Chains A and B, each alone.
Chain A
């Protein structure tokens, strides 16, 4: 069964259509990359999947469950991270993580165990006691990831997480996602950095002006456009679509 099943998803903001009748599925154990130019509707789609936005029409199912019927269950299975997120500046990272564990409905012991795990995984050791405002951008990113997966969710939604991060930190994040994929999790992420797509993704969804224009993978994209690298292929595909439109 697919982790996420999306049918005829649309989102309108007043007069503009941000997402127009998109349907796709995301299976467990795979990484799906969402590509598209700025304002194509990637973030809106991911926000709807994360349950932050409500779609104008269409359905989103998580292994047969929906926000409407199984709100808490679905939410506890989602991990969402975006580049314009931050932790509370007046709290230490530890305090924030505890608060989030509390909100997830964990017992104190379970939260503490999980924090220990994360601390090891992301070498949070010295960061935990610090306030968010005192952290470097790499440390911030590590603490943010810990915060978003404190409940060890089955589905990860990462929206342009590596934007404005240096290579080393980006690589760490990619490695983390790859490891999570190995653990059988469903991952959907959006990015503008095509090397990440190349490194990580099993499938590519290309969105343009709110419409899902291509559902493909890395190899297919290269072949169909007679290109040697992904950047060129993506560029060509984008041009094609613009001409067609």
Chain B
């Protein structure tokens, strides 16, 4: 019989214990009470600013220009010129203006040509001439587009005027271009103002057309509106701040909730207080339930501020909801907060218990929980890559998707049967999760038939590792992964600057490394050595990097290099050949070389190596290294390179790894950029490939991995150096 009194006593004890942990004070009280509100004020201010700007009315004395090219309907010209705010201007058909007008077409041509060019490259293979011509066309189109963009920026956006260009393309349809900037208040209001006139004219046009032809139903769209946003959308920025940074806060909060929770659950064994509890007339189930309830409460406390933040940002991001359907939004908000936090709290506590059930020490529990978090991050990571919405990913996670189902029910989806069914399936999945975690925990504590495994817990001769290194290795990986996800997400869905994309992994890698160094006492700076560095070995590394790079280019038919060109670079890179090369080299070789080596070898591999054997540490770190490269096509070769690098780190230290990484990436770039080289690679026969692949692999192995005597002598050298 389970006694409520005992559960209450355990719950009270656990609660007090967690509350007295100083880190909890920070994560559960300081951040929600001060950090999140401050952040929210910031987000809301930004949102208010944007909304206010887009809704600002035109001042009485504002006049803006509407430009048009070609012959317009006199009726439309009358309507436009009769408006006091509009200054009508007919554009001449000089080359420059035409170029601007045509820029969209040119841009499209550029994109088409680009994709055509690359597919051609694969098809023709040997015909260098066609390849070259094609490339010239490509470069020209690109330059056309860029110069048009420059002119556009200079001509059509200034602080006082907004230009709305109207072009008649054929007898029936007009194409209008609105060149405006979100930073320009007038442009927003002017756009609305002008659109009203166009709308009115459009209605007239359609009505007269219908009466002329004497038809009732006819689809007619005389106007095609093109909104050309030259500046980045502020509302998108809000979403990034809300979901991206909010997600980061959530991740950190979750990680810091897990630690005290694990401390009170599994830490009781480490702190030798478990027997005190066991000597009472209390059953394991009662201890367990008391602890579980407390962990769930902690999760709840942690999540409430985040969910409030999420809902507010969500509401601002979709401001239609806010104004059009206020009762539904209120209901959704409340549902989100209640259902979301409760379900997520249960989810978190289940995860915690799952980790505690399988782990024998606190360190293991922390590592496991980090891995579980990582497992959660993988589906989220696919958002950017596959253009999947966050909500559809979250819908795959049991319990977490509860509020989404409710939201669908209230706002979007009138199909009550489907949503209700979804809720039931979700509930079932959640129950399985809870059951599994509870079951696993009890089995671990109680043993299958007796308290056998409790003995393992109490008297096991487990290794008492002082080092938290493996746990932090996992943590480092999880945080870095988040950085990569954020970078990928930013570039693919929000059109954020390329720099953010490339630098966010770098910042995350270095930031994580420093954080872990501070926190765990694992000093990666001490790994900055090159044992037995000599010119022959450097030469060997260069040759190995070349042969491996060639190998992977052969295996992947140049797709690695191609991928790099898929990214549109900022203008500065395109104008100067040398700057372009240097920036490619910096962004794709030097930065990854440093940041990834410090993180994956200096922190992750080193951390794993401190607790696991060499093969396990090598393979695990290589898996992490491969996974972080996202694209499935890269997994194979990044895994192989990861193995080489880990062994190299073990034998020769970090600097050789950085050097090799930079060389490897540089050769990859070279194969991709140099037309002759890439056509040579893609033109190689199958027999040639079959010969060169294994040869390159074995050859590189012997080049990179030193012989036994060499390691011996090199370690001696390093000792001498140290002395």
Contacts and interface: CB of A to CB of B under 8 A. Distances in A.
Interface of A: 13, 43-44, 47, 50-54, 71-73, 75-76, 78-80, 82, 84-91, 95-96, 99-100, 102-105, 147-148
A99 B450 CA distance: 27
B271 A86 contact: yes
Interface in B1-54: 5-6, 9-10, 12-13, 16-17, 20-21
B454 interface: yes
A54 B281 contact: no
A86 to B, nearest CB: 4
Contacts of B459: 43-44, 47, 53
B692 to A, nearest CB: 52
A90 B21 contact: yes
Interface residues of B, number: 31
A104 B281 contact: yes
Contacts of A44: 459
Contacts of B12: 99
Contact of B455 (A51, A53, A148): A53
13 contacts: A53-B459, A54-B454, A71-B281, A71-B283, A80-B279, A88-B17, A88-B271, A88-B273, A90-B17, A90-B20, A103-B10, A103-B280, A148-B276
Nearest to B447: A54
A38 to B, nearest CB: 12
Nearest to A12: B452
Query: What secondary structure prevails in chain B residues at the interface with A?
Result: helix
Contacts of A50: 279
Interface of B: 5-6, 9-10, 12-13, 16-17, 20-21, 271-273, 275-283, 447, 450-452, 454-456, 458-459
Contacts of B276: 85-88, 96, 100, 147-148
Given A100-B280, A103-B6, A103-B280, A87 B273 contact: yes
Nearest to A71: B281
B455 A84 contact: no
Given A99-B9, A102-B9, A76 B271 contact: no
Given A54-B452, A99-B9, A90 B280 contact: no
A148 B17 contact: no
B64 to A, nearest CB: 67
B272 A85 contact: yes
Nearest to A75: B281
Nearest to B278: A52
Contact of A78 (B9, B279, B454): B279
Nearest to B277: A103
A118 to B, nearest CB: 15
Contacts of A43: 459
A72 B281 contact: yes
Nearest to B280: A103
A44 B456 CA distance: 12
A85 B16 contact: no
Contacts of B9: 99, 102-103
Contact of B275 (A72, A75, A82): A82
A245 B450 CA distance: 32
Contacts of A100: 276, 280
A161 to B, nearest CB: 13
A107 to B, nearest CB: 11
Contacts of A84: 272
A13 B35 CA distance: 51
